[in-house]
Structure 1
Amino acid sequence: MPLPEAADIAAAPTSSRPADEFGAYVAEHGTPDIVEVLLPDTHGVLRGKWIPGTAGGKIWGDGVAIPLSIFGLDIWGREVEETGIHIETGDRDGMCRPVAGTLKPVPWSPRPAAQVMISMYEPDGRGGERPWDLDPRHKLAAQVARLAALGLYPCVAFELEFYLMKPAPGPGGVPEPVFPASTSGPARQNMYAMSDLDAHAGLLHEVREAARIQGLPADTVISEAAPGQFEVNLYHRNDPMAAADDAILLRRLIDGVARKHGLRASFMAKPFLEFAGSGMHVHVSLADSGGANAFAKGEAGERLLRNAAAGMLATMADTCVFYVPSYNGFRRLVPGSYAPTSISWGYDNRAVAVRVPNGPPKARRLEHRIAGADAHPHLVLAGILAGMIEGIERGLEPPTPLTGNAYEQEAPLLSYDMGEAVRRFAASDFVGRAFGAQYRRVFAIMKETELAAFERRINPLEYETYL
């Protein structure tokens, strides 16, 4: 992660640029065939519409009407009626507005296309609009605003791991892994292998070029801890909203380029039991109003860092389902896997949940290592920032930092069970205070429904054992 040095951000930059944004795009790139409007739902799944390029300017004027209930869909895109926000309400439309800075070309598209992220608003009853409470983007904006009220401004960078896969052979089939064969014999761990990068150099260079075209601040590309697994790091952003947008759009970019090459990019948290899972690590520092790293201000900065770390740890169990939102994701939290299994912190220790990386004072930061690659970046960052605020406002002190192998040391364990994590979230006073009772209720209902769907399926091992 590059060194954070400034924090020239707005508290909650959710509105679009002036109405001529689309005109400026057309002047530079020409009129696209379509404009893809992208709305990340509760699970981080992109939903939206294709709008003809000739009508693209209306997005900045009229907005885009989409049902408010899109945030009551499960991970498969089905209505979760128990949320009470579907037909019971008349299934009302919300109005979606474009997010500043996200209108970009789609270089992997077979026809000229543009894309823009949007966020949801609802009528406020007085002829205006207000943020729709169930849009995760607004949950993050609220935490950024809370920190700004304390005179603190997050500087954020995401790291994203993924696997390259061959497409599934047919309906119901399972995608096959693409294991670059840098040596003979079976697929094996080959950490940081240049030969694995070389094996997919064409695809990875196209990812880098697409990121350049779209203005995504892509940094290092590495071959990760398993064959066929890669990681793309993003540079830090002084705008935390843009940092979360970057992570959403990078996933789409990687998958789009992979499809163009006849492959699939998998952000599944644990696609193979025998190999490492894919994570989403988040680096966060806090700057003061002058742009200086507040964590680097001597004894006061170290105390602020400790308070922030303590808050992240104290709230981690309550918000775990933000970071590990899927049934599969809990398979990633296993000892020895470089995915944390305990509520712990430490200095330059990759076995803990919250790490203080080495580096010069101006780069002083906390690295949150729990989230899977399938998590919603806006909710992950919202949970992290809310925890930091809790620790700072209450002056919390963290436990003794762990050194060495954290998997073999005493520390409270993260949940290994999705049901337990959802129940903890649903009962949490902290979640209610930080994110609102309505969001706590609806999110918990959707995750309970998702868990029930998995628990109603018979595992193939059961057939192998008992049939």
Structure 2
Amino acid sequence: MPLPDAVGTATAAASENDPLTDEFGAYVAAHGAPEIVEVLLPDTHGVLRGKWIPGGAGGKIWGDGVAIPLSIFGLDIWGREVEETGIHIETGDRDGICRPVPGTLTPVPWSPRPAAQVMLTMHEPDGRGGERPWELDPRHKLAAQVARLAALGLHPCVAFELEFYLLKPGAGPNGVPEPVFPASASGPARQNMYSMSDLDAFAPLLHDIREAARIQGLPADTVISEAAPGQYEVNLYHRRDAMAAADDAILLRRLIDGVARKHGVRASFMAKPFLDFAGSGMHVHVSLTDNEGANAFGAGEDGDRLLRHCAAGLLDTMIDTAVLYVPSYNGFRRLVPGSYAPTSISWGYDNRAVAVRVPNGPPKARRLEHRIAGADAHPHLVLAAILAGMLEGIERGQEPPPPLTGNAYEQEAPRLSYDMGEAIRSFGGSDFVARAFGAEYQRVFAIMKEAELAAFERRIGPLEYETYL
């Protein structure tokens, strides 16, 4: 274990040049010297890449940054280089400069040894001795939309809800995972939605999730037993800081996974692990506040008009951005009628069958709930697409179609595609995506998803062997 003196010396030396290193010094003073600092860089898919850095060198993270190849954002979901992107060895595979995200340095409660973690964001050298944001880092795509809204005097207030399954370790029969049933379960598999007994059955694990969130400063709110055996949901409080809200969602997934492993089970954020049970979603609640912090959606007639413009923009851009909300081959299996996952391009008031819901509540809590994203989606990209869609509606003064009431699955409305290839083509050919995310990001993301889709289409599934062999 590095000596605290070494940590303190490194921190003090770096602090003379960069006051941000005081964050690490304050951490050491509060928690002691970590053996390692886990630096976390979410890639294009939301998969965490990074390094373990000795605690004695931790202060350098804030002074010098962390060198990681720029091409980390050209890896597929399996961590392999997608050569067609043109950002790997043909560029010399240059390093980017990763800077720590302020406020994300926390202990790792589930680690067997003293460890800290911090999230990173990537920059590239600008050729003049400085650096600029790396255009393929999803974090910068969200920052751009936040800045556009700020120029209009509007600021997103955001909360994420994350659903997940608890699974037995290892593969079950035929390679299919098995959910962890509560000990009190009896009879055939059942929903048992909002079950208190299912919460009680996993109380030690769920309380450890809440305690880890407290230690890490993550604003965890409600815990729910969801619509399938072994499925749960953890909600996060609203933040008037969109970047921090997306960071919370990334870090909460890591926390749940780490605590679950410590309890001998697996946590899965796969969008549709079981055909017969509900999929796992990532619902995003968004309101817009003015410069004084008041909810702009709650400002009487003007607020209603602003909310309608935002809803219209979300519906109008939904086809083009669907692959950001549903980025996986498996995720399109979740979009089935009657599943509480939306299948139509629709909106409504207090209606969980639509894609964009306006929950009940007083004017000060008026917000939009975006219900399309799977739990495996990248929170920064999901939120960037949502905000860009809302901006599109505001800037064009768009009006939505009439809100749907009742069972939206049985009503006339444009449908979301169930086909990943179609969603990729819509994304890659969209003028809106090029404007909101940049042509280069659009190109690289589409290439990576095309390669991912091709990998699945080259596989022969078990049912084909059972049927035709």
Identify the residue that residue 48 of structure 1 maps to in structure 2.
Answer: 50
Identify the residue that residue 141 of structure 2 maps to in structure 1.
Answer: 139
Identify the residue that residue 13 of structure 2 maps to in structure 1.
Answer: none
Distance 2:168 2:144 in 1: 40
Distance 2:173 2:99 in 1: 36
Distance 2:70 2:177 in 1: 33
Q: Is residue 226 from structure 1 mapped to residue 265 from structure 2 by the alignment? A: no
Q: Is residue 410 from structure 1 mapped to residue 401 from structure 2 by the alignment? A: no
Would you say the 8 A contact 1:181–1:187 is kept in 2?
no
Distance 1:270 1:169 in 2: 16
Residue aligned with 1:251, SS: helix
Residue aligned with 2:270, SS: coil
Distance 2:25 2:437 in 1: 37
Identify the residue that residue 250 of structure 2 maps to in structure 1.
Answer: 248
Distance 1:187 1:174 in 2: 16
Q: Tell which deviates more after alignment, 167-176 or 343-352.
A: 167-176
Identify the residue that residue 201 of structure 1 maps to in structure 2.
Answer: 203
Would you say the 8 A contact 2:172–2:178 is kept in 1?
no
Displacement of 1:175? 3.0
Describe how 1:233-382 pairs up with structure 2 within 5 A. 233-382=235-384
Identify the residue that residue 65 of structure 1 maps to in structure 2.
Answer: 67
Distance 1:155 1:172 in 2: 44
Would you say the 8 A contact 1:59–1:98 is kept in 2?
yes
Identify the residue that residue 386 of structure 1 maps to in structure 2.
Answer: 388
Q: Is residue 213 from structure 1 mapped to residue 215 from structure 2 by the alignment? A: yes
Displacement of 1:182? 3.3
Identify the residue that residue 4 of structure 1 maps to in structure 2.
Answer: none
Structure 1 residues not aligned, in runs of 5+: 1-15
Distance 2:364 2:172 in 1: 52
Distance 1:174 1:119 in 2: 36
Residue aligned with 2:67, SS: strand
Distance 1:390 1:169 in 2: 45
Distance 2:165 2:266 in 1: 8
Quick one: which amino acid aligns to residue 243 of structure 2? M
Identify the residue that residue 89 of structure 2 maps to in structure 1.
Answer: 87
Would you say the 8 A contact 2:38–2:117 is kept in 1?
yes
Residue aligned with 2:357, SS: strand
Residue aligned with 2:264, SS: coil
Higher helix share: 2
Displacement of 1:181? 4.4
Residue aligned with 1:461, SS: helix
Residue aligned with 1:399, SS: coil
Distance 1:323 1:374 in 2: 9
Identify the residue that residue 4 of structure 2 maps to in structure 1.
Answer: none
Displacement of 1:124? 1.1
Describe how 1:2-13 pairs up with structure 2 within 5 A. none
Q: Is residue 153 from structure 1 mapped to residue 129 from structure 2 by the alignment? A: no
Structure 2 residues not aligned, in runs of 5+: 1-17
Residues 17 and 330 (structure 1), Cα distance of their counterparts in 2 relative to 1, 3 Å cut: farther
Quick one: which amino acid aligns to residue 437 of structure 1? A
Quick one: which amino acid aligns to residue 433 of structure 1? R
Distance 1:267 1:82 in 2: 28
Distance 1:318 1:164 in 2: 33
Displacement of 1:187? 1.6
Q: 2:427 aligns with which of 375, 400, 425?
A: 425
Identify the residue that residue 403 of structure 2 maps to in structure 1.
Answer: 401
Distance 1:445 1:323 in 2: 17
Distance 2:377 2:184 in 1: 31
Distance 1:295 1:230 in 2: 30
- Give me the TM-score of the superposition, normalised by structure 1: 0.96
Quick one: which amino acid aligns to residue 116 of structure 2? A
Displacement of 1:17? 7.3
Distance 1:325 1:231 in 2: 20
Would you say the 8 A contact 1:17–1:100 is kept in 2?
no
Quick one: which amino acid aligns to residue 107 of structure 1? P
Would you say the 8 A contact 1:345–1:353 is kept in 2?
yes
Describe how 1:169-188 pairs up with structure 2 within 5 A. 169=171, 173-188=175-190
Q: 1:438 aligns with which of 434, 440, 457?
A: 440
Displacement of 1:176? 2.1
Identify the residue that residue 37 of structure 2 maps to in structure 1.
Answer: 35
Would you say the 8 A contact 2:61–2:100 is kept in 1?
yes
Q: Deviations over 1:102-145 (max 9, x none)?
A: 00000000000000000000011221110000000000000000
Distance 2:305 2:127 in 1: 45
Residues 241 and 465 (structure 1), Cα distance of their counterparts in 2 relative to 1, 3 Å cut: same
Distance 1:236 1:419 in 2: 34
Identify the residue that residue 10 of structure 1 maps to in structure 2.
Answer: none
Displacement of 1:186? 1.9
Displacement of 1:185? 1.2
Q: Is residue 168 from structure 1 mapped to residue 159 from structure 2 by the alignment? A: no
Distance 1:17 1:118 in 2: 17
Higher relative contact order (CA 8 A, sep 6+): 1
RMSD: 1.2
Identify the residue that residue 461 of structure 1 maps to in structure 2.
Answer: 463
Structure 1 stretches of 4+ moved >6 Å: none
Distance 2:190 2:220 in 1: 27
Distance 2:371 2:350 in 1: 12
Would you say the 8 A contact 2:85–2:447 is kept in 1?
yes
Residue aligned with 2:318, SS: coil
Identify the residue that residue 99 of structure 2 maps to in structure 1.
Answer: 97
Distance 1:195 1:453 in 2: 42
Displacement of 1:257? 0.2
Quick one: which amino acid aligns to residue 199 of structure 2? L
What fraction of aligned residue pairs are identical, expressed as a percent? Answer: 87
Q: Deviations over 1:13-34 (max 9, x none)?
A: xxx9722110000000000010
- Give me the TM-score of the superposition, normalised by structure 2: 0.95
Distance 1:17 1:62 in 2: 12
Distance 2:154 2:171 in 1: 51
